[in-house]
Amino acid sequence: MINLELPKKMKAASNQAHQAAAQIFRPISRKYDLAEHERPVELDTMASLVEGLADAGQAASGATMGRGTERKTEGNVNGGNMASLMNVIETCWGDVGLTLSIPYQGLGNSAIAAVATDEQLERFGKVWASMAITEPSFGSDSAAVSTTAVLDGDEWVLNGEKIFVTAGERSTHIVVWASVDKSKGRAAIKSFVVPRDAPGLSVARLEHKLGIRASDTAVLLLEDCRIPQDNLLGSPEVDVNKGFGGVMATFDNTRPLVAGMAVGLARAALEELREILTEAGVDVSYDTPVNNQHAAAAAYLDLEADWEAAYLLTIRAAWMADNKKPNSLEASMAKAKAGRMGTAVTLKAVELAGSYGYSERPLLEKWARDSKILDIFEGTQQIQQLIVARRVLDLSSAELK
């Protein structure tokens, strides 16, 4: 029998994350939505808490996520990936933009966890790393990276422009995707850890956005940017037969987390909507057929079922990662379902709440705006469906575009 109860060892950290979301994030959520690009100073107090959780292997998305999970006994394992997922669900129940602004918990940390050697993990395990992939010339096609990295003595020299870098201004390090040899195609794309103070790295501008306004989204310029040779994550060898599976493994870690963000946000919207319906005298019953219930109650039950499906897919993807099972298909399935579910639930919640939901009195309209990015970054809805189709049909990227 499958037991979906949260393991005891994770309950304390998950409860702590929920308390932070309720007592820190929610009270300042609207404040930083209206004050875009202003640094949430309230989150500075969380730095020590985050470091403690990371040391315990239970941070929201630290660089050690999924690493160091040892199988001491036979059977199933719930480790760093599941702990990270449970915590990010809770913090995004509070606020997605603020979750993305938590010190030392950038999406680049998951890239480090996926690709770094043990020695690199020791050096970069506690940095705050954002992730820089997208460029002006491409969006979802990660293989189209044009940023270059040329070895000059014992340093890499990086040149290029990166856009839509989450926490790009505030993080201490940036994980940059760049090609070491354009003639060898996608196989030559590698990940590089670039310190914030590296010569040649600059912030060109910060983007104004529809949602997650508490999070800074930067355009970064790399102009003869020099970093140490050993800041290239993983192996420097270019294996044209293997492709760029190493750097793409990053997404197997981050996509379940982004799915978890949508799950947490949608749960917040469902809880708020349930209260609004109850106050309006609409009873949601689990014992009465939906065709015999108020239309709003029937719609709510549909939304809740959609949420449950996304939640189950998401925890499966995280569980597989903890148990060393290839989860590329499941990670994309979870991301696709949760991203679509998040936008559907939050927009419908605004609709069912009427003029009250469309106003700024509750957070429903904000959550509807925030939800859209979760269906876009870390691979769009369309890209996830393409990946799922390739895996299910056993076709290559050249055979199914």
| Residues designated as active site | 378
For residues 274 and 209, give the distance between their C-alpha atoms in angstroms, rounded to a whole number: 29
CA–CA distance, 254 with 109 (Å, rounded to integer): 9
Residue pair 20/60 in contact by the 8 Å Cβ criterion: no
Tokens of 387: 């990946």
Paired sense of beta strands 129-132 and 173-179, if any: parallel
Distance CA 182, CA 136 (A): 17
The residue type of 196 is R
Structure tokens at 194: 């670039």
Instruction: Please name the amino acid found at residue 1.
Output: M
Kindly report the backbone phi and psi dihedral angles of residue 192, in degrees, each rounded to the nearest multiple of 5, phi listed first: -125, 135
Pairing of strands 173-179, 201-206: unpaired
Neighbours of 396 (CB within 10 A): 9
Q: How many C-beta atoms lie closer than 10 Å to residue 69's C-beta?
A: 20
Token reading at 255 = 């996509």
CB-CB contact of 317 with 256 (8 Å): yes
Identify the CA nearest to 59 among candidates 14, 115, 111: 14
Q: For the purposes of burial, counting CB atoms within 10 Å of the CB of 12, is it exposed (0-12), middle (13-18) or buried (19 or more)?
A: exposed
* CA separation for the pair 28, 206 (Å, rounded): 21
Helices of type H across 177-294: 245-279
Q: How far is CA 193 from CA 110, 123, 223, in A?
A: 12, 11, 15
DSSP tag of 105? -
Alpha carbons 59 and 81: distance in angstroms, whole number: 9
User: Would you say how long the chain is, in residues?
Assistant: 401
Q: Which residues contact 257 (CB under 8 A, 6 or more apart)?
A: 61, 84, 85, 88, 107, 110
